[in-house]
Amino acid sequence: MTTAETAHLTLPVGERDHVQGSPEAPVTLVEYGDYECPYCGEAYPIVKELQRRVGDRLRFVFRNFPLTNAHPHAEHAAEAAETAAAQGEDRFWAMHDRLYEHQRALDDAHLEGYAADAGLDVERFDREMEEGRYQARVREDFLSGVRSGVNGTPTFFINGVRHDDSYALEVLQAAVERAAAASVEEA
């Protein structure tokens, strides 16, 4: 359902984004997430299953939206993911997965351990984390979310339109399937 009140993605998906799936996919699912948010933790396996079910018809994009007032480790965890990304997009996704799979252990010592598990150059990771090299990148994601009407996590956009319904698997999949069908009709 699209109304005049429905929020739209203000920053289009582009080169700066972390993407899984083909750019040719008829549906792009963007998540604004917080690594320490328990609801994002619930959504994580749902997105994984959705990717499995929908396959090459889905492109998934993750953007950082750390809610620092509620989650004291969220921003540093987001910076850790971006620091991993600097060593390769596959490293971003490896770190992303570890952060969600170990959501209750996001202090700096654990982040360093996840960096090692992800095969990162840990000295470089530590140096870049200490420098705060990717703070601005995390802030860019956050501000793009604010401009797009994100006010909590997780927030999903399907083909640029905010999904204002449940992120339960069946509900989210039905919305993705509707978007895929609409995309085919437009083509």
The 3-state DSSP composition of the chain as helix, strand, coil percent (nearest 5) reads 50, 15, 35
Question: pLDDT tier at 187 (50, 70, 90 boundaries)?
Answer: low
How many angstroms separate the CA atoms of 58 and 46, rounded?
14
pTM of the model: 0.95
Average pLDDT estimate for 150-176: 97
Question: pLDDT tier at 1 (50, 70, 90 boundaries)?
Answer: very low
Instruction: Summarize pLDDT for 86-102 with one digit per residue, the tens.
Output: 999 999 999 999 999 99
Q: For helices 169-186 and 38-54, what crossing angle results, to 10°?
A: 50
Question: pLDDT tier at 184 (50, 70, 90 boundaries)?
Answer: confident
Q: Report the pLDDT value the prediction gives residue 2, as an integer from 0 to 100.
A: 40
Whether pLDDT at 3 is above 70: no
Instruction: Summarize pLDDT for 94-143 with one digit per residue, the tens.
Output: 999 999 999 999 999 999 999 999 999 999 999 999 999 999 999 999 99
Locate the domains of the chain by residue range. Answer: 75-145
Residue type, 63: R
* Tokens representing residue 37 in the block: 């948010």
How many angstroms separate the CA atoms of 8 and 163, rounded?
9
**Could you tell me where the DSSP H helices lie in the chain?**
38-54, 74-85, 89-101, 108-117, 122-131, 135-147, 169-186
Phi then psi dihedrals of residue 77, to 5 deg: -65, -40
Q: Report the pLDDT value the prediction gives residue 183, as an integer from 0 to 100.
A: 85
Residue found under tokens 């921003």? 75
Instruction: Summarize pLDDT for 19-65 with one digit per residue, the tens.
Output: 999 999 999 999 999 999 999 999 999 999 999 999 999 999 999 99
The rounded mean pLDDT for the chain is 95
